[in-house]
Structure 1
Amino acid sequence: MVRIVATAISAIFCLLVLSIAADVIIDWAWFSDLGYLSVFQMALATKAAVFLGVFSMSIAALWVNEWLAFRLGMRAQSGALVLGSDVARLRISSGADPGPPYLRLILAAAASFASLLVALYQASQWDLFLRFLYQVPYGDADPVFGADLGFFLFSLPAYVTLKDWALTLIILSAATALAVYAALGSVQLGPRTVVSRAAIAHGSALLGALLTVKAGSYALDRYLLLYSNNDILVGAGYTDVNVTLPLISVLVALALIGAMLSFANVRICSRRLPVAAVVLVFGGSLVFGEVVPTVFQSLVVKPNELDLERPYIQRSINLTRAAYGLQNVAVRPFAAEQGLTPMLLEANQPTIDNIRLWDGGPLIDTYRQLQEIRTYYRFHTADVDRYWLSGIYRQVTLAAREIDTSRLPSSAQTWVNRHILFTHGSGVVMSPVNRKSAEGLPLFYLRDIPPVADGGPPISEPRIYFGEVNSPYVIVNSSVPEFDYPKGNANVFARYGGARGIPIGSTAWRMLFAWYFKDPSVVLTDYITQESRLLFRRAVKERVHTIAPFLRLDGNPYPVITDGRIVWIQDAYTTSNYFPYAQTVSRGELDYIRNAAKVVIDGYDGSIKFYLAAPSDPIARTYGRIFPELFTPLSRMPADLQRHLRYPQDLFIAQVQVYRTYHMGTPEVFYNREDVWELPRQLDGNGGTMAPYYMIIRLPGEAEAEFILMAPMVPIRRDNMIAWIAARCDPAHYGELIVYEFPKDKLVFGPFQIEARINQNTAISQQITLWNQRGSRVIRGNVHVIPIENSLLYVSPLYLRAEEGQIPELKRVIAAYGEQVVMEETLADALAVLFRQRAGAPSPEATAAQLAGGGIRELLRGHYVRAVEHLKRGDWANFGKEFDAMRSLLDHADKQ
């Protein structure tokens, strides 16, 4: 029996070692191929060191306690203590019954397994220990202890982890010892509970160790007060600082006294001392840690809460803003006037020309129907970006056409097709956000296979081996040519020419990968040659996460066309949930975030570059010390790529969630929660909120249109707009946050109210009802708020989809301004009708009246903006016309 068990354990151990060795070798090759071997080596060495250190100390502690329990339990003793009755004598000879057979083997195996689990868990937190060892100072001190905030980001998490490990070891040691004593009869539970003196002595020692660790835990609780939440503020409040903090010192003292009593009981072996120690510590915790602070908060603080909590509320506001990078938000007034005119619209033509009429859902459905071409291609998402096309700054949507072999017919789901033949996607589609064909379909700047450019940027290398789709591994440069793209009734084939990929020509590598992928075909196939390479981890997010698992990744990597190639940009964050006095988001997962890195992944060969986007972030600087070769300064990113950087949406949403409350900078207003904001509701039937969206506009007071990420804000539980928040994306002002606040005495319609006004419009609602009754399904697009000058324009697209069809068509555009709502076939028509209804057609007399009334400034601004746009494009003729128009206006003003 013992031999069978030993053989089984040996076999399992060998398989485990083989699996780990294969993983390490393959990861070594993969990281080497990408040029990040030093990152892998540091991570591997740290994991191994943490695992071996924790495992050896854990198993030593458990085995020592097991050995000691056997030794004491088997030793002849003078008697045993019967709890709850008189002392009875129990003779145990030196040759006492050792317990059930194989007890030691079973306990040793259990201790080893428990130690293995503990070590694996601690090794999974390897980066926590590295951050502790390589930490850099934050530069600011916390307001309670005066410690650098880096202590809370780097040291405190490590101390808490070590404390938890120590408590786990003591509990497991106690469980091991109790099992031994119970097996030997030294501990018997029942009507007459029996505990031997040896068990009492051993248990007292473990209790002493537990209470010593508990004293350390209380000491750490002093710092953890800075993460408390009393519904008024996050962080230590008046009671925490003035009552709980001093009482924690009392709890530390009580825990140390209890530990000393327990250690003393190792020799005394009294039944009362351990109980007294436990009552002293945990009773004191109840009284001094819970009851006294609660009573003080209710009787003293609550009646004077605002006065007493004022400085602590201010701390919470300041540090929460710092945690989310909101301390430098620019706040500007926005008049929300009703002064838009056709001339102002013309002066803001770049904004009008980039109003988004294609929402992501209908657009991706249309792309899939029109441009996936074959079933094995897939558009994952449609992303928004901007390009300079023919000298014009254009907002566009684009989607990469990736390969998805899971969509091949079942009869074609062969190993050769999935891993050798169908290896890559082909090209992207691109369309402007504001244009449609006569049939209501997108107009394509880039389309078809191979890519055809109709005004879009040329693509010289359209093949996509790496993208958003989670594709299986592929073997390139085999003896079978790779499918490139379909052409008529034939196919075009290609050969991979990238420098990346792991050579797989040798038998050893083939056997290793066959084991790794659990796929014997890698060994059995005859298609692999000496030039063959294996590409795996082809999903962009998986690729980045494997190299830098300590970075939190944005949910939406997006493709960029640069120098004729397709690359992906993945935003990555450094986060923590240990920033003091900071509000948590994402269900309490984090209370600190920075967009630390912009990661660029080549769609053809999978090369990866990590660009450091937040050099002042202490967590990013710490990782820079740990992995000196990981980050490249953002200034070294190619200029063309820098023009395509976007403010990441996940970060913006987290900041908006926090700013909706923490824009209130004074404790009195914050305490009353009298000005809480939220994102607007949207009419989707699910109670959802509007997501922030990208757009090109000219911000109030700025000379040129720019790419921004924007979110309207409404008061909590109200639908009227109160403000809008913009994150600037273009290189000159990247990362700047601006909040435009509306006058509080003026009603400004929010998106949900505009939705309601659209539904109340008789002509529009009747037309929608008519379409729905004629075999079509109406799809309402999102209402976008478009700031123009100091006014707001609202635009919403409307799509039709036939009941039997799959292609949404953009059929109407709804525009609203002030009290007017109109629906027309195009945005230009809607704006023409909307402003003709408001002001009538412009005439020379009206222009003269505007000049006489001081409107020359608006006219001059319009000509100036158009002159600048013509100058950028090198259109000197039209630049001269606009310049002459400005001169005429100035001459006219001089005559007034």
Structure 2
Amino acid sequence: MAELKQQRGTIQNIRIWDERPLLKTYQQIQSIRLYYDFNNVDVDRYVLGGQYRQLMLAARELVVRQLPAQANTWVNRHLTYTHGYGLAASPVNEVTREGLPRLFIKDLPPVCEAGLQKIVRPEIYYGEMTDQYVLVKTTSKEFDFPKGDKNVYSVYQGRGGVPINSFIRRLLYAVEFRDPQIFFTNYLTSESRIMYNRRIKRRVKAIAPFLSYDQDPYMVLSNGRLYWILDAYTTSNMYPYSTRSHSPFDRGILNYIRNAVKVTIDAYNGDVRFYRLDEKDPIAGVYNRIFPALFKSFDDMPEDLKHHIRYPKDFFQIQATTYTRYHMEDVQVFYNQEDLWQLPDEMYGDSRQKMKPYYIIIKLPEGEKEEFLLMLPFTPSKKDNMIGWLAARSDLPEYGSLIVYKLPKEKLVYGPMQIEARVDQQTEISRELSLWDQKGSRVIRGNLLAIPVLDAFVYVEPIYLEAKQEDSTAPTTGETPTGGLQKFKSKLSSGSSGADPSRAASLPELKRVIVAFGNQVAMEHNLDLALSRVLGKGRAIEKADVPAATRFLETSDLGKMALQYYNQAKENLRRGDWAGYGERLKKLEEVLKEIAGKSDVRQ
């Protein structure tokens, strides 16, 4: 028990939400209107209430091409619908009773909870999906956000964009964008400005095309404002005696890469700042001498933004792939490739894929506190057992340090695919997943994470269930998200959120969490129960050591679930569905057994 208490920060930050199901969930419960959208979900960390917490965030951008046809006018596209608004954010490990993420930032205007700072500038004029020019400070007010049956409008107050207050500028921009409306419109004033190059990757490439840019910019909330952080690299394919690698940036070949620059973009003003992270990189040094006003020292980056820099996945993937060969230090062993490693496979959904690097908060074996890391395990070539793992540190002052842990070859440590096989061999788990994955429902097996805990590995795999859209209204024989989701769909239909109710049918719900530790495998309704089962009663996690939201299935909740199964069984009996009747009775029996044994699990 004492050992687990020392790992509290690791346990409470185990991720049970995957980016892909969570993105779909955000799009359905937080898009609010058809013209809002989320491009992707990013992982970052914040200090909330004195605790180091891992959050998942997504920017709510406005996509004008999603406007209804009758509203797709020139004025709406370029003067009225000019910006996105706010973001959605949730912790990586908290779930509501309906199987949905607990939102720390939600709705319009944004509501912030759990100690997150208020967003004073939620407008997003520059983002990942903003691909049209807009005119601001015109006589036409800009749409801000919907409020009930009405809309809230505003006027841009920043310095973003370029003044367009003269005859010649209007003419030149009309020619540049091949849009005569810019020249002839009566909406412009002496204060009007035109914003373009608003897609952030296109914007930074226009400023510094000689750098390579990461594929995943991410949004940060800092001092009430929204910023994008984007990693930039110096690269070459002509470094002498260096192994070549495929570039993830331009489909080319490289044999030299440094994460030399961090780029920040203000989502409201579009201000771009290039900070030199690697002062020793010679290529960045040359660029700095050519463009002395372009680069700033990393010391000049605002302190709060420094706490949100993270080791980039693209860079780490190249390093990890290269290390599978170059970890061998003996010349003869290297020459014969006797100890070649590989990146492991995992199951996602129903397909096998290469495991990708993932961010975690853990306390390293030699560390004094929890850290935000990027990690990836290794397996021997053509084998599935784990042989080592690589971690990249993201927190200052240790940012950029790589740590490799080599596991003893004489001891078997299960790798990801071996854990997946052991899960499939569990009769109860396999039967339940097969039962759900029937017509009308689809089981999504999330990313399998290997978490170092107690000098061993805890494997965690979330299980999601979503209704198939093509048969979303038909009853299913498996356990479908009826109770909480039906209430949620009713709220959508009533217009409380403004989202499209037709999209709610495919809303993924977190239904179970699979945990493997040593020779134990368990699937439970939440992470707390699964950990308690695999770690054993003597080492179960105390209630105080687990986040409150992961303990949502108390006895009263199980009672509600039992009543739900009972009512469903009666309905199946009324319809003459004997197979469904038997299945519901079996589910009812399982819940009643869990209620009976719950006091033992909690001891």
Asked whether the two chains share a fold, i.e. TM above 0.5, the reply is: yes
- The question of 1:649 aligning with 2:313 is answered yes
- The question of 1:426 aligning with 2:85 is answered yes
Residue correspondence of structure 1 range 512-661 to structure 2 within 5 A: 512-586=172-246, 589-661=253-325
Select which of 444, 447, 451 maps to 1:779.
444
Shift of 1:345: 2.1
| Partner Cα separation in structure 2 for residue 774 and residue 761 of structure 1 | 23
Q: Which residue of 2 aligns with 1:390?
A: 49
Query: Gaps (5+ residues) in structure 2?
Result: 473-504, 546-603
Q: What residue identity is the alignment partner of 1:351?
A: T
Q: Which residue of 2 aligns with 1:735?
A: 400
| Partner Cα separation in structure 2 for residue 498 and residue 486 of structure 1 | 22
- The question of 1:720 aligning with 2:420 is answered no
SS of the equivalent of 1:491 reads strand
Q: Deviations over 1:289-309 (max 9, x none)?
A: xxxxxxxxxxxxxxxxxxxxx
Whether contact under 8 Å (1:699, 1:789) holds in the other structure is: no
Shift of 1:819: 1.1
Q: Which residue of 2 aligns with 1:371?
A: 30
| Partner Cα separation in structure 2 for residue 756 and residue 470 of structure 1 | 44
Q: Deviations over 1:622-675 (max 9, x none)?
A: 101111111111011111111100001111011111111011122211101111
- The question of 1:835 aligning with 2:535 is answered yes
Residue correspondence of structure 1 range 204-243 to structure 2 within 5 A: none
Identity within the alignment, %: 50
Q: What residue identity is the alignment partner of 1:633?
A: S
SS of the equivalent of 2:347 reads coil
Whether contact under 8 Å (1:562, 1:641) holds in the other structure is: yes
| Partner Cα separation in structure 2 for residue 619 and residue 688 of structure 1 | 36
Whether contact under 8 Å (1:698, 1:704) holds in the other structure is: yes
Q: Which residue of 2 aligns with 1:17?
A: none
Q: Which residue of 1 aligns with 2:5?
A: 346
Give TM-score, length-normalised by structure 2.
0.82
Residue correspondence of structure 1 range 119-198 to structure 2 within 5 A: none
- The question of 1:672 aligning with 2:331 is answered no
Q: Which residue of 2 aligns with 1:360?
A: 19
Q: What residue identity is the alignment partner of 1:462?
A: P
Q: Which residue of 2 aligns with 1:816?
A: 516
Shift of 1:687: 4.6
| Partner Cα separation in structure 1 for residue 66 and residue 190 of structure 2 | 30
| Partner Cα separation in structure 1 for residue 246 and residue 536 of structure 2 | 47
| Partner Cα separation in structure 2 for residue 659 and residue 529 of structure 1 | 59
Q: What residue identity is the alignment partner of 1:482?
A: E
Residue correspondence of structure 1 range 464-475 to structure 2 within 5 A: 464-475=124-135
SS of the equivalent of 1:601 reads strand
Whether contact under 8 Å (2:389, 2:404) holds in the other structure is: yes
Q: What residue identity is the alignment partner of 1:731?
A: L
Q: Which residue of 1 aligns with 2:149?
A: 489
Q: What residue identity is the alignment partner of 1:773?
A: Q
Q: Which residue of 2 aligns with 1:263?
A: none
| Partner Cα separation in structure 1 for residue 356 and residue 383 of structure 2 | 17
SS of the equivalent of 1:811 reads strand
Shift of 1:470: 3.7
Whether contact under 8 Å (2:531, 2:540) holds in the other structure is: no
Select which of 794, 806, 809 maps to 2:506.
806
Shift of 1:500: 2.2
Q: Deviations over 1:742-762 (max 9, x none)?
A: 001111111111111111110
Q: Deviations over 1:180-228 (max 9, x none)?
A: xxxxxxxxxxxxxxxxxxxxxxxxxxxxxxxxxxxxxxxxxxxxxxxxx
Shift of 1:458: 1.5
| Partner Cα separation in structure 2 for residue 561 and residue 352 of structure 1 | 25
| Partner Cα separation in structure 2 for residue 730 and residue 809 of structure 1 | 32
| Partner Cα separation in structure 2 for residue 634 and residue 670 of structure 1 | 38
Whether contact under 8 Å (1:389, 1:457) holds in the other structure is: no
Shift of 1:780: 0.5
Higher strand share: 2
Whether contact under 8 Å (1:398, 1:429) holds in the other structure is: yes
SS of the equivalent of 1:773 reads coil
Higher helix share: 1
| Partner Cα separation in structure 1 for residue 140 and residue 130 of structure 2 | 23
Q: Which residue of 1 aligns with 2:371?
A: 706
Aligned length: 503
| Partner Cα separation in structure 2 for residue 737 and residue 767 of structure 1 | 41
SS of the equivalent of 1:733 reads coil
Shift of 1:841: 6.8
| Partner Cα separation in structure 2 for residue 665 and residue 593 of structure 1 | 22
Higher mean displacement: 735-744 or 491-500: 491-500
Q: Deviations over 1:359-414 (max 9, x none)?
A: 01000000000001001111011000000011110000000001100111122211
Q: Deviations over 1:575-622 (max 9, x none)?
A: 000111111111661000000100010000000110001110000001
Q: Structure 1 residues 827, 516: CA separation in 2 closer, same or farther (over 3 Å shift)?
A: same
Over the aligned positions, Cα root-mean-square deviation in angstroms equals: 1.6
Shift of 1:482: 0.3
Q: Which residue of 2 aligns with 1:440?
A: 99
Residue correspondence of structure 1 range 58-137 to structure 2 within 5 A: none
Q: Structure 1 residues 454, 691: CA separation in 2 closer, same or farther (over 3 Å shift)?
A: same
Q: Which residue of 2 aligns with 1:414?
A: 73
| Partner Cα separation in structure 1 for residue 89 and residue 82 of structure 2 | 23
Shift of 1:485: 0.4
| Partner Cα separation in structure 1 for residue 347 and residue 527 of structure 2 | 21
SS of the equivalent of 1:682 reads strand
Q: Which residue of 1 aligns with 2:497?
A: none
Q: Deviations over 1:676-711 (max 9, x none)?
A: 111111224555201000000000111100100000
Q: Structure 1 residues 841, 390: CA separation in 2 closer, same or farther (over 3 Å shift)?
A: closer
Q: Which residue of 2 aligns with 1:32?
A: none
SS of the equivalent of 1:419 reads helix
- The question of 1:663 aligning with 2:327 is answered yes
Q: Which residue of 2 aligns with 1:45?
A: none
Q: Structure 1 residues 711, 793: CA separation in 2 closer, same or farther (over 3 Å shift)?
A: same
SS of the equivalent of 1:658 reads helix
Higher mean displacement: 455-464 or 706-715: 455-464
Give TM-score, length-normalised by structure 1.
0.55
Q: Deviations over 1:259-311 (max 9, x none)?
A: xxxxxxxxxxxxxxxxxxxxxxxxxxxxxxxxxxxxxxxxxxxxxxxxxxxxx
SS of the equivalent of 2:437 reads helix
Query: Gaps (5+ residues) in structure 1?
Result: 1-341, 844-861, 864-896
Q: Deviations over 1:144-202 (max 9, x none)?
A: xxxxxxxxxxxxxxxxxxxxxxxxxxxxxxxxxxxxxxxxxxxxxxxxxxxxxxxxxxx
| Partner Cα separation in structure 1 for residue 540 and residue 442 of structure 2 | 36
